[in-house]
Chains A and B, each alone.
Chain A
């Protein structure tokens, strides 16, 4: 087993990976950019190494700097987290060339699945149905292909993942503009401006299957997640199991995922993303060759630590368990807390999260990357934390998550907390009747109206009294007590309750 692992990432996922490494008795090395000096992820690791300037290209995307840090620290393996270099084959190669173990798939697998055309060919060969699409650097050719397949279409970075730069277009004119924008984001985020155009399947649900492979042709699945609640192709709420999946559909997607993973002799943890249409047809979207942001919901329903599984596979080349040993109980649901202003077109926010309190009740898990006083900067993804709740049923899990969000307090930087609370109270979410476009098509207008409601007079009174008594009135506390009295539970007309009458 490894003695020391460098985590080539930042924020909450570095903290998450470090927690498992520490539990396994493995020492941890963090890396940080100039902007992340003193950040939480550097404090939770045993040591931390500076790798460059704030801009990601100079630091977290800088292969030489990260590999040098790994070598100099004496680490014997590198965990890439997600985002940044996690799906960069050259990075995986550089790690191996330095004599270290890359905790993840082989460079060839990363390359194959990172190339949409190759991924589609592999999926097709494994018997997984694929969506019509086209790839290339020539915008005009892509527009022609889209004209032929029919609108709407969706544009993705060919080498990307995680929804970065993804946009939909409903006609040729917007497609041309969207391709150009996607190419720039792709170039800056992935170092390659190739984009990919695919027919947008409407009224579909996003269901993905977690797989683990031993790299020798054996693979298991750890059931599925539903990530249908999205805004601008960014997942906001994820859950396991998928609430609308029939037993037949579950069998189809999980078997297809295992078939694909075994066909490519997949190594480590990966996710096969699919869209399931209203008619019940399953289409392969892509395979993510890394840990997913939303992996905790799978961990909670299966009891499997996916990071530990990744590490064990990397160290031993064996699957830690057989398919029949993987069981699923209850329901888990996750909400992504972002520093963005839901009342103002979800603009990313920067500032200092001067007072942060995370919820802590039973069966509530928080994977966070900030504490009170931490800066939230312009350079990286604005996700602050994931708040996850587990319960025997979906209904109870949603209730528990809402309670956890009530106990979540981030002051100093505006967050999407009001959006999450309103979303989880929406009747369509409760009943599970929505698709990947539902948030934008049906939820946002009503939510915007809620957000336009004035703050209660009492909020103004509280501010004025705080000012009169001399600010700052209260000391920042990392973990203040929950309010003892909540007279507002019944005051539904207030905007943030989302308790629209």
Chain B
């Protein structure tokens, strides 16, 4: 069983092989180790063993909460967030891709500063997006001509919504 998970800006691969009686052989990005797992009455996992580089044979209480494509993982007192890779869902990030510009977070468009046909320079503000207390300027990632504007002032947009398309 192989799966891929986005961890920050990298994609991690984990492969799991059941050995029976709660034991597993795990391979993470090519490094292999064994551990055993036991579901605790409250649903958390009691893991024994682990990667030698991470201290190896100890006991760890792990809690995994699925939320959409994301998995919130608590190991001991530390939290990590992984996201299933290849699920088509992109982490809300800088929002610039293939000449298009998408909303980095859900919010309300407060201002559109360009129209179709405008020549823009790198760094030029294109739209203003307000989310909670802050206004965020969406800037051109490179120079180009505005091919399409997908938002108007007052419009509520979701994270990832295509806002502006640029052509070279």
Contacts and interface: CB of A to CB of B under 8 A. Distances in A.
Given A472-B66, A473-B64, A496-B80, A465 B16 contact: yes
Interface string A431-462: 00000000000000000000110111111111
Determine chain A's interface SS by DSSP, over half rule. Answer: loop
Contacts of A469: 37, 39
Interface string A100-120: 000000000000000000000
Given A378-B106, A411-B72, A463 B64 contact: yes
Interface stretch (B2-10, B114-122, B141-149, B160-168): B2-10
A16 interface: no
B90 interface: no
A409 B74 contact: yes
Contacts of B10: 454
A351 interface: yes
Q: Which of A163, A463, A469 has the most CB of B within 10 A?
A: A463
Interface residues on A, range: 35 or more
Given A181-B128, A456-B54, A487-B59, A406 B5 contact: no
A455 B81 CA distance: 8
A184 B110 contact: yes
Interface in B31-50: 31, 33, 35, 37, 39, 42-45, 47, 50
A488 B55 CA distance: 9
A456 B51 contact: yes
A460 B42 contact: no
Interface residues on B, range: 35 or more
Contact of B78 (A341, A347, A496): A496
Given A181-B128, A469-B39, A491 B55 contact: yes
Given A348-B132, A466-B45, A488-B75, A458 B39 contact: no
Interface string B17-31: 010000010101101
Interface stretch (A137-145, A214-222, A478-486): A478-486
B128 A474 contact: no
Contact of B61 (A351, A460, A485): A485
Nearest to B68: A351
B54 A457 contact: yes
Given A184-B111, A468-B18, A491-B55, A474 B42 contact: yes
B58 A483 contact: no
A51 B141 CA distance: 41
Interface in A180-199: 181, 184-185, 188-189
29 contacts: A181-B135, A344-B93, A347-B105, A348-B105, A378-B106, A409-B63, A411-B65, A417-B79, A455-B80, A456-B75, A457-B54, A458-B62, A461-B14, A462-B64, A463-B64, A464-B1, A465-B24, A466-B64, A466-B66, A468-B1, A472-B66, A473-B45, A476-B65, A480-B44, A483-B44, A487-B59, A488-B78, A489-B77, A496-B78
Given A355-B65, A381-B132, A406-B77, 17 more contacts: A165-B134, A165-B135, A188-B110, A411-B79, A452-B8, A455-B12, A456-B51, A458-B50, A460-B14, A461-B26, A461-B47, A462-B75, A465-B16, A466-B45, A485-B61, A487-B59, A489-B76
Interface of A: 162-165, 177, 181, 184-185, 188-189, 232, 234, 341, 343-344, 347-352, 354-355, 378, 380-382, 406-407, 409, 411-414, 417-418, 451-452, 454-469, 471-477, 480-481, 483-491, 494, 496-497
